[in-house]
Amino acid sequence: MNLIAFVKTVDQVLAFMETAWRRYARMMGTRSLNVAYILVFVVLCSWLLLASLIQTPRIRVQQCRLLQSLNDKRTSSYSNDERLKLYENMTGELDKQGPLFLGDGKTSQSLKLSDLFSVINGKIVPVHKVANPPVRAVVLYLDPDAAHEIKQTIESILSRHFPKTGLWFQDPDLYHFSMHHASHHQNPVPATLEEINSEAAAVRQVAEKSLILEIELERVVLTPSGVLVGCWQVSKGTDPAVIREELRNALPRSPAKQLYNPVIFYTSFARILSAPLTARKDYSADAVLEILKGLVSQLNQNLCSKAAVKELWYVEELDLLALALKGRTRIRRFQLQSDPKG
């Protein structure tokens, strides 16, 4: 029921009750009428409060989706269009490949889940392995206020559907967007301390000519390897594709083959490690897939986030996947610039 229809209904109810009360007053007297007014007033207030509580979450999501739609039309760019195509392809990969993480447990870096996590006293604990040489990554850092809100929403929806050992939640204080690698696991590029300092200085220069990003969550996607990722669009600021190009020029020793499409812009939220509790052992793979897709749909209905990206980090990951698994890191943080136009 929309607001206008709701008000009309209340008005009709009040008119009917007024007529009934006048008849009641003639029979029972004024004092009884006053008591009746008070009782009905309390009932109506309770009704209105309950209706507002029920409608608020849905209204919030609808309003936010509307703002996103209007903003997309107003600020649509080539990069956002390209990102949309990538996100649609990412969404379809789960249907094409299925939930591979429930089979052999392979991850996106050809590591098994057992290489990344262990279970100690009924809790999931990340396995930290030394990265030799350390991975040197440049990442954009998501505003922590938005990150914590996202994490709370995801946890509230998913936790009741999985065992305690079935989920790994990323640390919201480390939500990030991978932009460029000066050295990565596929193509290690060793560096001296002097070279590392030089790289960090070059990243600082890129940050000093890049504007703060204002971004909107476009969708949540579950990858075949079990990672829940947030796919974002950019409404204002220096586009990630431009920042990646600047980093490529600033870090000429970097591997020629980078790990990501130049326009893609996503951050990992969580990793699913097991089948949902509602999936019985006799369920088919397709049935389990539908349950997982239903949970992702719930996330997309409830997550509607806008955020700011104000920092560019130069990170040395001393352990494999250190940012994702809360391993050892050395981080240098550089501020992006405010738009002088406001």
**CATH number of this structure's domain 77-335:** 3.90.1140.10
Q: Mean pLDDT, to the nearest integer, of 74-90? A: 81
Residue in this structure with the two tokens 């220096």, named with its chain if needed: 238
Look at the block and give the residue holding tokens 């669009």.
233
Rg (CA), the chain: 26
Which residue's structure tokens are 């089948």?
275
CB 203 within 8 A of CB 253: no
Distance CA 183, CA 33 (A): 81
> Does residue 244 contact residue 180 with C-beta atoms inside 8 Å?
yes
Residues shown for the chain: 342
pLDDT given at position 64 = 44
**DSSP classification of residue 106:** B
Element (H, E) at 39: helix 30-75
Within its chain, how far is the Cα of 76 from the centroid? 21
Determine whether 298 is exposed, middle or buried from the number of CB atoms within 10 Å of its CB (0-12, 13-18, 19+).
middle
Instruction: Report residue 308 as tokens.
Output: 């700011």
- Bridge partners for 220 per DSSP: 230
Would you report the helix, strand and coil content of the chain in percent, each value rounded to 5? 50, 25, 25
For the chain, residues classed under CATH 3.90.1140.10 are 77-335
Q: Which of 338, 333, 339, 325 is nearest to 129 (CA)?
A: 325
Residue 340 has pLDDT above 50, yes or no: yes
Residue position matching structure tokens 């990102």: 83
CA distance 220 to 300: 6
Task: For the chain, give the mean pLDDT.
Answer: 83
pLDDT recorded at residue 280: 76
Q: pLDDT-based confidence at 284, cuts 50/70/90?
A: confident
pLDDT above 90 (res 211)? yes
Q: How confident is the model at residue 105 (pLDDT cuts 50, 70, 90)?
A: low
**pLDDT above 70 covers what percent of the chain?**
75
Alpha carbon 199 to its chain centroid, in Å, reads 30
Cβ-count burial of 180 within 10 angstroms (0-12 exposed, 13-18 middle, 19+ buried)?
buried
**Is the distance from CB of 173 to CB of 206 less than 8 angstroms?**
no
Statement: residue 56 has pLDDT above 70:
no
Q: What is the pLDDT confidence band of residue 41, given thresholds at 50, 70 and 90?
A: low
Amino acid at 167: L
User: pLDDT of 236-261, one tens digit each?
Assistant: 999 999 999 999 999 999 999 998 89
**pTM (predicted TM-score):** 0.76
The CB density around residue 237, as the number of other CB atoms within 10 Å, is: 21
CB-CB contact of 262 with 241 (8 Å): yes
Token output for 38:
């008070």
List, for residues 260-274, the tens digit of each pLDDT value.
Answer: 899 999 999 999 999
Whether residue 10 contacts residue 44, with contact meaning beta carbons closer than 8 Å, is answered with yes
Running DSSP on this structure, what letter comes out for residue 218? E
* pLDDT for position 18: 53
Strand intervals (E) in the chain: 117-120, 123-126, 130-142, 167-169, 176-183, 213-222, 227-236, 266-272, 306-319, 329-335
Helix (H, G, I), strand (E, B) or coil at 263: coil
Q: Which residue's structure tokens are 């897709």?
A: 293
Which residue is listed with tokens 């004024």?
A: 30
